[in-house]
Amino acid sequence: MKSQCKFEILRMPPENTNSVLVSNGGDAAIFDPWGRCDDWGRILEARNLTLREIYATHGHPDHISAAPDLSARYDVPWYMGAADRDLVGWGNELLDFFGLPHICAHCASSSDLAAGAAMVLGKIPMHIIASPGHTPGGMCFYFPDEKILLTGDTLFRDGFGRYDFPGGDQKTLFESISNIYNLNLPDDVYVVHGHGPDSTMESLRRENPYFRPAKA
């Protein structure tokens, strides 16, 4: 029987972050919900989807701006690495720049996410990969059946995320990048980055000079 699982990359206005809408049948999960809650509501309604879960690769505002309001409106959990809890509410000046409402740290309660195996929407296998460095609790998400990897801001097509924000660490970030390399994922895995164009594992190995195993 053909899977009903669908992945859709959405660059929500104001265009900045690559968000991902995952659906199976009429159920949906959102990864890195940038933008406004009302805009996401219209997208879900247009696709006749019911939101069940929200996931964040990390706690920066451009990856969770709509998460608290979506979680409250639809009464669904949103998941993020526990070490990024203290970042919620940081960086609201970025939201000011884009004309988005502030995230209230005391109003935004996420559920802790840990590395390991998980099931999205109760049906879609996902490997949660700890990738600290850009933030302390950064995570990547790999879907083995669909061969899709979401890297957040850990890794970009030709570079890597910043490590000079609160909680960032250069050495830890490069270790996380090496750990992803050492997973030896197939060349045809499609890679969605937190910002910018997508890539594949093959193109990352060939074109990104930082995507290398750890030095001995």
Give dist(CA 17, CA 107) in Å, integer: 23
Q: How far is CA 118 from the centre of its chain?
A: 15
User: Taking residues 179-185, what's their average pLDDT?
Assistant: 97
Band the pLDDT of 93: cuts 50, 70, 90. Answer: confident
Give the CA distances from residue 188 to residues 2, 10, 82, 120, 145, in Å, rounded to whole numbers and listed in that order. Answer: 20, 21, 31, 22, 12
- Total residue length of the chain: 216
Give dist(CA 205, CA 81) in Å, integer: 27
What tokens appear for 24 in the block?
Answer: 């199976």
What pLDDT score does 98 carry? 87
Q: Which residue has the higher pLDDT, 3 or 47?
A: 47
Q: Which residue has the higher pLDDT, 177 or 215?
A: 177
Band the pLDDT of 12: cuts 50, 70, 90. Answer: confident
Q: Reply yes or no on whether the pLDDT at 1 is more than 50.
A: no
Q: Reply yes or no on whether the pLDDT at 94 is more than 70.
A: yes
Phi, psi of 133 (to 5 degrees): 135, -55
Give the CA distances from residue 82 to residues 58, 147, 152, in Å, rounded to whole numbers and listed in that order. Answer: 10, 26, 16
Every domain of the chain and the residues it spans: 5-207
SS3 3: coil
Least confident window among 7-16, 51-60, 111-120, 188-197: 7-16
Q: Reply yes or no on whether the pLDDT at 103 is more than 90.
A: no
DSSP code at position 160: B
Q: What is the mean pLDDT of the chain?
A: 93
Q: What is the pLDDT of residues 122-164, one digit of tens each?
A: 999 999 999 999 999 999 999 999 999 999 999 999 999 999 9
Helix axes 37-46, 67-74, angle to 10 degrees: 50
Least confident window among 1-5, 58-62, 146-150: 1-5
What pLDDT score does 22 carry? 98
**The architecture CATH gives domain 5-207:** 4-Layer Sandwich (3.60)
pTM of the model: 0.94
Q: Work out the angle at residue 105's Cα, subtended by the Cα atoms of residues 103 and 108, and round it to the nearest 5 degrees.
A: 75
User: Taking residues 48-64, what's their average pLDDT?
Assistant: 96
Q: What is the pLDDT of residues 68-77, one digit of tens each?
A: 999 999 999 9
Q: Which residue has the higher pLDDT, 107 or 111?
A: 111
Instruction: Provide the percentage of residues in the chain whose pLDDT is more than 90.
Output: 80
Report yes or no: 32 and 63 within 8 Å, Cβ to Cβ: yes
Structure-token match 């409106």, residue found? 73
What pLDDT score does 108 carry? 61
Closest by CA position to 19, among listed 89, 70, 94: 70
